[in-house]
Chains A and B, each alone.
Chain A
Amino acid sequence: ETGVTQTPRHLVMGMTNKKSLKCEQHLGHNAMYWYKQSAKKPLELMFVYNFKEQTENNSVPSRFSPECPNSSHLFLHLHTLQPEDSALYLCASSQEPLGGGGYTFGSGTRLTVV
């Protein structure tokens, strides 16, 4: 399998549930990202990992907890979410230093919090 794969594609969860989003890249990249995309709002960068180390956390609430066990895998652990957290969550990867390849995105996980 190639590119950036995200699972699950769709997720419905209650506000008291705990779930995890998974992202896997097969491109040999060394940086990975989580973005949130809500309706009528710009893409929001949530977390950045370079060589498995978190280098950016854009004031994301603690109910979102990222994990990067290696350069190929990235998780987003979710707990006690709110309805306003419903969105498309996109994972991306890139090779540092950034060149013409830019970021490669996965297809996203459509999350609905009920």
Chain B
Amino acid sequence: GEDVEQSLFLSVREGDSSVINCTYTDSSSTYLYWYKQEPGAGLQLLTYIFSNMDMKQDQRLTVLLNKKDKHLSLRIADTQTGDSAIYFCAESTGEAAGNKLTFGGGTRVLVKP
């Protein structure tokens, strides 16, 4: 079955790097995503990685994918107070899964000044 797990909470000092980790169980995942949710708002797509890649960088964001261990991480460089939010990872197994994303429970990131 599909299961995506994340740690619940991360506290980081402003200016430091944040690393949010995620594990998933479905080895046939085609895309993996990171979403950000700010208070009172919906989920915003931050970045994604295709399953044949092991790294993707987008400005302050770096996504690492270890398919062997089914481990996904999101690194935020130079973390700012505006990065305080809940971060969700999600996996898609493509058409076979009927276009459905499976989300983790979310990691609440608190950035301290």
Contact = CB atoms under 8 A, between A and B. Distances in A.
Interface string A86-114: 00001010101111111111111010000
Contacts, number: 64
A101 B92 CA distance: 11
Contacts of A103: 43, 45, 101
A94 to B, nearest CB: 6
A23 B18 CA distance: 34
Interface of B: 31, 33, 35, 40-45, 48, 50, 88, 90, 92, 94-95, 98-101, 103-106
Contacts of B48: 100, 102
B112 to A, nearest CB: 23
Interface residues of A, number: 27
Given A98-B92, A100-B48, A103-B45, A110 B40 contact: yes
Contacts of A101: 45
Contact of B100 (A4, A45, A106): A45
Contacts of A106: 42
A104 B99 contact: no
A50 interface: yes
A108 B38 CA distance: 12
A42 to B, nearest CB: 4
A31 interface: yes
Given A99-B31, A102-B33, A90 B43 contact: yes
Nearest to B43: A105
Interface in A41-81: 42-43, 45, 48, 50, 55-56
Contact of B94 (A45, A98, A107): A98
